[in-house]
């Protein structure tokens, strides 16, 4: 990674003055680019953005999220997706095109309280996010442990090209499903590996803003240093 300037910023801080492109979590006033949240500012290839350290989940199209069924209507399920908006999963998405509210019972497939891995199919300002389970690895989650972390820390848990999550999965033999909304399901046949994986995920949540995190997670998991040298140094 070349020439990335990083700084700690709080709302209102002027990150840079000049003809640069404002990206996430910044706004432009005149030629000043100003941060809108607490986080770490990055200037990279003429683009300015802030990686937030706090904040709520705002759905984006194509995000993988983990949702919990909170209600049903005749034509859809309603999901809590850890956001200020309720996710909708149309019944046709599960039952197919010949779904009829008189014939099929929604609760037979997904009941209130069930966890589901879903993808945000569509979301804009005018309506609540529309979910879909029509893809590989999506659908009802049958087993596993649910962990909640701050949605702003999800990218850190994944790491550069998935390095962090691969490290944890390889060391513990656990399967970790990460929802962009900060809900994470960890499942593992070995109870010790499960505990280790949960501990590692929580560690990333607590120490997300510190440098050399992959190294520290590795030493916690007992992986000797130098192996799998695909680390992020921030």
Residue from 3, 29, 45, 189 touching other proteins (CB under 8 A): that is 29
Structure tokens given for 86: 């309720």
d(CA 55, CA 47): 22
Residue from 11, 18, 71, 162 touching other proteins (CB under 8 A): that is 11
| DSSP character string of 17-43 | ESS-EE-TTEEEETTEEEE-SSEEEEE
Question: Taking CB under 8 A as the rule, does residue 155 contact other proteins?
Answer: no
Q: Quick check: helix, strand or coil at residue 142? A: coil
Nearer of residues 9 and 174 to other proteins, judged by Cβ? 9
Question: Taking CB under 8 A as the rule, does residue 30 contact other proteins?
Answer: no
- Identify residues 39-78 at the interface with other proteins (CB under 8 A): 52-56, 58
Nearer of residues 38 and 198 to other proteins, judged by Cβ? 38
- Reference 143, options 200, 80, 194; nearest CA is 194
Question: Taking CB under 8 A as the rule, does residue 28 contact other proteins?
Answer: no
Q: How near is the Cβ of 147 to other proteins at its closest, in Å?
A: 17
Q: How near is the Cβ of 128 to other proteins at its closest, in Å?
A: 8
Q: What's the Cα-to-Cα distance from 225 to each of 10, 20, 215, 222, rounded to whole Å?
A: 35, 39, 7, 9
Phi–psi pair at 204, nearest 5 degrees:
-60, -40
Locate all alpha helices (DSSP H) within 173-228, ordered by sequence: 191-206, 213-221
Nearer of residues 56 and 175 to other proteins, judged by Cβ? 56
Q: Quick check: helix, strand or coil at residue 95? A: helix
Q: How near is the Cβ of 180 to other proteins at its closest, in Å?
A: 15
Question: Taking CB under 8 A as the rule, does residue 112 contact other proteins?
Answer: no
Question: Taking CB under 8 A as the rule, does residue 33 contact other proteins?
Answer: no
Q: How near is the Cβ of 134 to other proteins at its closest, in Å?
A: 27
Phi–psi pair at 134, nearest 5 degrees:
-85, 70
Q: Quick check: helix, strand or coil at residue 139? A: strand
d(CA 13, CA 8): 9
For the four alpha carbons of 47, 52, 58 and 64, in that order, the dihedral sign comes to positive
- Identify residues 124-143 at the interface with other proteins (CB under 8 A): 125-126
Interface with other proteins (CB under 8 A)? 8, 10-14, 25, 27, 29, 34, 36-38, 52-56, 58, 84-86, 125-126, 152, 206-207, 209-211
């Amino acid at each position: 990674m070349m020439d990335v300037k990083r700084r700690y910023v709080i709302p209102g801080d002027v990150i840079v003055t000049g003809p640069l492109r404002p990206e996430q979590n910044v706004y432009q006033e005149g030629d000043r680019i100003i941060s809108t949240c607490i986080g770490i500012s990055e200037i990279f290839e003429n683009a300015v953005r802030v990686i937030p350290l706090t904040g709520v989940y705002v759905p984006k199209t194509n995000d993988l999220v983990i949702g919990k069924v909170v209600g049903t209507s005749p034509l859809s399920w309603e999901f809590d997706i850890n956001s200020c908006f309720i996710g909708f999963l149309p019944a046709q998405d599960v039952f197919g095109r010949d779904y009829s509210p008189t014939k099929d019972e929604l609760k037979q497939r997904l009941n209130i309280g069930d966890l589901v891995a879903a993808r945000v199919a569509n979301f804009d300002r005018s309506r609540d996010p529309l979910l879909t389970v029509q893809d590989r690895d999506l659908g009802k989650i049958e087993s596993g442990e649910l962990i909640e972390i701050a949605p702003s820390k999800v990218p850190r848990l994944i790491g550069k090209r998935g390095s962090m999550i691969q490290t944890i999965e390889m060391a513990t033999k656990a399967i970790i499903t990460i929802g962009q909304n900060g809900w994470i399901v960890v499942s593992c046949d070995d109870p010790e590996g499960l505990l280790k994986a949960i501990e590692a995920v929580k560690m990333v949540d607590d120490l997300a803003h510190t440098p050399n995190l992959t190294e520290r997670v590795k030493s916690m998991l007992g992986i000797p240093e130098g192996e799998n040298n695909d680390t992020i140094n921030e």
